[in-house]
Structure 1
Amino acid sequence: MVLQDLGRRINAAVTDLTRSPTLDEKAFDGMIKEISNALVEADVNIKLVSSLRKSIKAAVKFSELPAHANKRRIIQKAVFDALVDIVNPHQTPYNPKKGKANVIMFVGLQGAGKTTTCTKLARWYQARGFKTCLVCADTFRAGAFDQLKQNAIKAKIPYYGSLTQTDPVVVARDGVEKFKKERFEIIIVDTSGRHHQEDALFAEMVEIQTAVQPHQTVMVLDASIGQAAEAQSRAFKETADFGAIIITKTDGAAAGGGAISAVAATHTPIVFIGTGEHLLDLEKFNPQSFVSKLLGMGDMQGLVEHVQSLKLDQKETMKNISEGKFSIRDLRDQLQNIMKMGPLSKMAGMIPGLSNMMGGMDDEEGSMKLKRMIYICDSMTQKELNSDGKIFIEQPTRMTRVARGSGTSVREVEELLTQQRMMAGVAKNAKTNMAKMQKAQGAMSGGNRQQQMAAMQKRLQSMGGAPGGMDLSSMMKMMGGAGGGGGGGMPDMSKMMSMMGMGGGAGAGGKR
């Protein structure tokens, strides 16, 4: 996967340093050199790499560090912040508003994946309550309208295009005007792919932009573009002045650093990244979460949002967890929910440490492991499913019967029961932690609340920060709802799943 090897190398360099018995300036310089080499080999611009070296060295000055300072934490934070700075141009992208027409125009090179990404973005906004549509202004490429039409029908999104009109400016203007009259909120305009040396196509792009007056112009960049990304993105920026970047094909085997270099070259934020071929394979980009996943630290916030978007029914499980219980039936329900959450490799990146635990296990192998665990649960009686698992310890012959009925081994049944016991223990602790967190929230009242939150956030940072780059308020929402947001039910379960559900699948898989 794009950037996965880069993440492993950077993570290994930092880990090797922090585990070194002698953490001195020489070892520190060796770590920076290894990180720099990894970035250059991943096609990240050499000037960016040089800037990163300087910023890490400026943040960690060994001669000025006090004797009691936690050097490991300081180095880890310096590397994290420097990497975030590379992908964060500190520019706020356009935020579409409900109740009004938001025109988004796509530009980019041929073959970057614009048409597919248009549909993915329309589907993403549609899932969040926007009335979305698509306009095909690509009259240059054969089959472009057919492709958009096919994608739009599959995603159940209205579309506009023409098989007879050859002027893309006319098609774009007519399509946008039509959907504006019909009160659509997100109008996405797909345009032809073009190269910066094709002057006529670049002039056409400006004409389309003038005709439809987009609120946001998005540059679509293929992650495998390499060092050419910077020159191409500069040319597009100077002509079309795009305000956002979407990086596609990050599930490929290319280095991917070139697309990141384009962010720094144009000072334009990445808004989404394409992670696969399917319509749901589009992730909202957050610099902290991206670097956190890159370094194997997970993306807890992204996990919560992903789980919430699936609208999974977990009322019964939440009721049990609030009482400090977790039955085998609850485990089966969570395994089924995990199966709905997408490829295991995608989920592994969001959960701290799981990507390392998976090792060489692929999606098919991980999915089969989860299915076998579900088969075991389905071979149990109602009494066994509703139990806390002790019935199997008291009557071991039940394990043999379940193993035969599910086509698995007794060892696999034992592994599942071990996982259930561990999760039941976490549920019991979660009940206690939620009560403590809610008590702490109650204590933060009046004008003093903000100061107390700031003080707690500061203490959290001194301990190395929250997992996945979250702030304290996000953690409190996950633990118990910190003021609104659906009563905290869904975030609670998201946390439970991230703590144990996926870890169970991978953990058991690792014992094969």
Structure 2
Amino acid sequence: MVLAQLGGSISRALQQMSNATVIDEKVLNECLNEITRALLQADVQFKLVRDMQTNIKKIVNLEDLAAGHNKRKIIQQAVFNELCKMLDAGKPSFTPKKGKPSVVMFVGLQGSGKTTTCTKYAYYHQKKGWKPALVCADTFRAGAFDQLKQNATKAKIPFYGSYMESDPVKIAVDGVERFKKENCDLIIVDTSGRHKQEAALFEEMRQVSEATKPDLVIFVMDSSIGQAAFDQAQAFKQSVAVGAVIVTKMDGHAKGGGALSAVAATKSPVIFIGTGEHMDEFEVFDVKPFVSRLLGMGDWSGFMDKIHEVVPMDQQPELLQKLSEGNFTLRIMYEQFQNILKMGPISQVFSMLPGFSAELMPKGREKESQAKIKRYMTMMDSMTNEELDSSNPKIMNESRIMRIARGSGRQVREVMEMLEEYKRLAKIWSKMKGLKFPKKGDMSALSRNMNAQQMGGMGGLQSLMKQMGSAKDMMGMFGGGN
């Protein structure tokens, strides 16, 4: 992900500054120049970057700082705050409520990924307990209804559209009425796009909006347009009441930083970013956690939310108990691999951990990493209960290894490789021993504790991450390390 490269560049600049024996004006300027270069390469507007540099210098007046102040920490916090300010629209968007019907209308230019994004948005809310439905009011693009129908069927989401009706307003009204009767609480209307901003597009959007009275209008925008995002977002806002923005294709364009900052400047909150073609390559955009992850500081709340999604409530106390005991068996490794596969793209999950960066997981290696996990699980399927539940690696003698290789259709060296990974992860897991977890295994409380530690100074978490092993060492297991 190109934004990961931006985050990596900024993190390196801050790290180089941290390594300096004395942090003086020269070191600060070198650090800020490096950050400026990285932001400009990501196509962030020159004025925004210049203002950010000026503001940081005002905040970090090295001459005025007393000897006892932690200059590195003050500079890091200033960079964090200024990046947040740059990407923050300053106001939240409308949030749909479960059980109460909400109509959400999607608008955008043709080719921005609007139809795919509609389905991703529906799928995201379906997983959270909403009852979404999709309405295809795009009668301009040939194949639009077929695409929406195919996406919706795959995601098991009800849909409505017509091959015969050419009036998008009638289709939108009929679809919304139908799904309201069916008690759907999130009705998503996909509208026509054009290759460029033109009067016919805006007039059609206005008519559909007047007829369906949406609770929220979402503008979908391709990240590759960079700074042109500002003018585009403004034009759409002047035609319909755009209340939020989703930026797509953030996985392959250097201009992503420009798109995010330009849209924020229109005071339209970015609510999601699309990071790939797949249904789960779709992230909530929340400024502080996003910037935190960009700088390699992690996002414990997001990570714990992911765990909440995949680990059933009744199993959470048991998982925390195992963590605190520090005993790591092959069965625990198997269960955690299952959880990782359910959590979505590996780089996205790992970037939520302090000290990790999505940059450590090159995009092309995600599939390779997931295939490796599945291979390991296949080998473990050929193990006995005794082997899976033992925390003694010496139990795995030559004859057992050969039997597992035959049973799983893999080579002996692959089984040996999997056992080496088990030993390494067991070593990392053992560092968790004695960690104080909330009573009754409350993961929500754990998330709050972790976040409080993170925001109140990274010392505790950084020492934990050092104990557990470096980010690259841990990512190496998933094909991301060097």
TM-score normalized by the length of structure 2: 0.86
Q: What pairs with 1:19-418 in structure 2 (closer than 5 Å)?
A: 19-194=19-194, 197-311=197-311, 314=315, 317=319, 320-321=322-323, 325-355=327-357, 358=360, 362-375=365-378, 377-389=380-392, 391-392=394-395, 397=398, 401=402, 407-409=411-413, 412=417, 415-418=420-423
Q: Deviations over 1:124-181 (max 9, x none)?
A: 1111111211111111111111111111111111111122221212221222122223
* CA distance in structure 2 between the aligned counterparts of 1:416 and 1:503, rounded to whole angstroms: 11
* CA distance in structure 2 between the aligned counterparts of 1:396 and 1:162, rounded to whole angstroms: 64
Q: Go from structure 1 to structure 2 and tell me whether the alpha carbon gap of 1:408 and 1:146 turns closer, same or farther (over 3 Å shift).
A: same
| 8 Å CA contact 1:152, 1:159 repeated in 2 | yes
* CA distance in structure 2 between the aligned counterparts of 1:375 and 1:436, rounded to whole angstroms: 33
* CA distance in structure 2 between the aligned counterparts of 1:396 and 1:501, rounded to whole angstroms: 31
Q: Deviations over 1:86-138 (max 9, x none)?
A: 11112011011222210101111111011111111111111111121111111
Q: Go from structure 1 to structure 2 and tell me whether the alpha carbon gap of 1:399 and 1:201 turns closer, same or farther (over 3 Å shift).
A: same
| 8 Å CA contact 2:229, 2:263 repeated in 1 | no
Q: Deviations over 1:265-305 (max 9, x none)?
A: 31111111112112222211111111122122223222222
Percentage identity across paired residues of the two chains? 44
Runs of 4+ in 1 over 6 A off after TM superposition: 435-438, 465-468, 498-503
- Number of aligned pairs? 466
Query: Which range is displaced more, 296-305 or 205-214?
Result: 296-305
User: Match of 1:450?
Assistant: none
TM-score normalized by the length of structure 1: 0.81
Structure 2: gaps spanning 5 or more residues: none
Once the two structures are TM-superposed, the CA of residue 433 in structure 1 deviates from its matched residue by 4.7
* CA distance in structure 1 between the aligned counterparts of 2:8 and 2:472, rounded to whole angstroms: 21
| 8 Å CA contact 1:134, 1:152 repeated in 2 | yes
Once the two structures are TM-superposed, the CA of residue 21 in structure 1 deviates from its matched residue by 2.2
- What do you get for the CA RMSD once the two structures are aligned? 3.4
SS in 1 for 2:93: coil
| 8 Å CA contact 1:246, 1:272 repeated in 2 | yes
Q: Go from structure 1 to structure 2 and tell me whether the alpha carbon gap of 1:71 and 1:93 turns closer, same or farther (over 3 Å shift).
A: same
* CA distance in structure 2 between the aligned counterparts of 1:80 and 1:176, rounded to whole angstroms: 43
Query: Which range is displaced more, 75-84 or 1-10?
Result: 1-10
Structure 1: gaps spanning 5 or more residues: 442-452, 469-494
| 8 Å CA contact 1:73, 1:464 repeated in 2 | no
Once the two structures are TM-superposed, the CA of residue 30 in structure 1 deviates from its matched residue by 1.9
Q: Deviations over 1:320-361 (max 9, x none)?
A: 446554322112221232233333333232223333794658
| 8 Å CA contact 1:298, 1:467 repeated in 2 | no
* CA distance in structure 2 between the aligned counterparts of 1:296 and 1:460, rounded to whole angstroms: 12
Once the two structures are TM-superposed, the CA of residue 205 in structure 1 deviates from its matched residue by 1.1
| 8 Å CA contact 2:401, 2:412 repeated in 1 | no
User: Match of 1:447?
Assistant: none
Query: Which range is displaced more, 257-266 or 245-254?
Result: 257-266
| 8 Å CA contact 1:196, 1:232 repeated in 2 | no
Query: Which range is displaced more, 33-42 or 331-340?
Result: 331-340
Q: Go from structure 1 to structure 2 and tell me whether the alpha carbon gap of 1:413 and 1:298 turns closer, same or farther (over 3 Å shift).
A: same
| 8 Å CA contact 2:348, 2:358 repeated in 1 | no
Once the two structures are TM-superposed, the CA of residue 397 in structure 1 deviates from its matched residue by 4.8
Aligned partner of 2:424: which letter?
Answer: Q
* CA distance in structure 2 between the aligned counterparts of 1:399 and 1:354, rounded to whole angstroms: 36
Q: Go from structure 1 to structure 2 and tell me whether the alpha carbon gap of 1:403 and 1:67 turns closer, same or farther (over 3 Å shift).
A: farther
| 8 Å CA contact 2:296, 2:357 repeated in 1 | yes
| 8 Å CA contact 2:311, 2:339 repeated in 1 | no
User: Match of 1:506?
Assistant: 476
Query: Which range is displaced more, 295-304 or 218-227?
Result: 295-304
| 8 Å CA contact 2:472, 2:481 repeated in 1 | no
User: Match of 2:457?
Assistant: 463
* CA distance in structure 2 between the aligned counterparts of 1:57 and 1:230, rounded to whole angstroms: 27
Q: Go from structure 1 to structure 2 and tell me whether the alpha carbon gap of 1:127 and 1:427 turns closer, same or farther (over 3 Å shift).
A: same
* CA distance in structure 1 between the aligned counterparts of 2:102 and 2:210, rounded to whole angstroms: 15
| 8 Å CA contact 1:327, 1:420 repeated in 2 | no
User: Match of 1:484?
Assistant: none
